[in-house]
Structure 1
């Protein structure tokens, strides 16, 4: 008989599955997941393992995520995002939304600037989106940001290696998401991150 030992990841998955099974309201469910993700971020084994996670490299206009887990029943995923120092256009990521999904973005290591934007036009031109920055917060390990459907944002590491653990309501990559250029007001859509299966714990 094989005895499975609980670790921080299996505990997180079990707690998250309980929330998906017991809380039908998405907003309440995702707010309730904040402390669950915080517990995962504080685990020493997760932190130590993250030192060996490969860097995520943008390619052909798409980001890359490490795929640690996809739930067979509720479809939520655990992603990792490792950014080498100044790996993304001097550490600056593209302003974007996540379309219809919920996302919890938890900083595990390093520091980042989390930017939020508000759209100020009426959306009548399909190629134009006028946005203005509403927040630019400097954050470090243990910060969890909830990104709701269609919210416009960016995370930038600017000069330091940063690592995040990301929980999404479903796997990205197969549906279109919004892309924004604040300097030109250009709007377009593109597919989300490429998913690279990776072991979370080493």
Structure 2
């Protein structure tokens, strides 16, 4: 068996990923959220749609992350959360998150972002105060973790667009789904 390749650093991963201009991405995301508000009219429906879009993205991004990062299998949820915070966020958004507020069981934590490129140029009007503008990120995390056999619940706790001092997502491991490999009888 060949030796394991050490994982790349977050900076090396960020440099190795093809990306579009950050401002273009931010403006495009904002236009998409605005169109969803126009089409769906209900803020709660927009929140659900953003989460579902993120979930779909996360189920696909995990393959690229695993292929480019050379990360070996994480031993538990704590290690997985640290990899997401230090490598995943850096690879795809160019920022890192802090993992904090672990519960006693090690099944629930917070990702705290002090910088969030999705919100450049954004100011929420009073009519959109219930909007979880970055809900796509919680969906991405949920979808990516589900692809590595972890069913989670991800909720926003703090949001700088609402006057908080940081962006904080609470991630709770609901259950670890054992991987099943089909058994083939060679008889």
TM > 0.5 fold call? no
Compare the two structures and name the one with the higher helix fraction.
2
For normalisation by structure 1, the TM-score amounts to 0.33
Compare the two structures and name the one with the higher strand fraction.
1
Over alpha carbons, which structure has the higher Rg? Answer: 2
For normalisation by structure 2, the TM-score amounts to 0.34
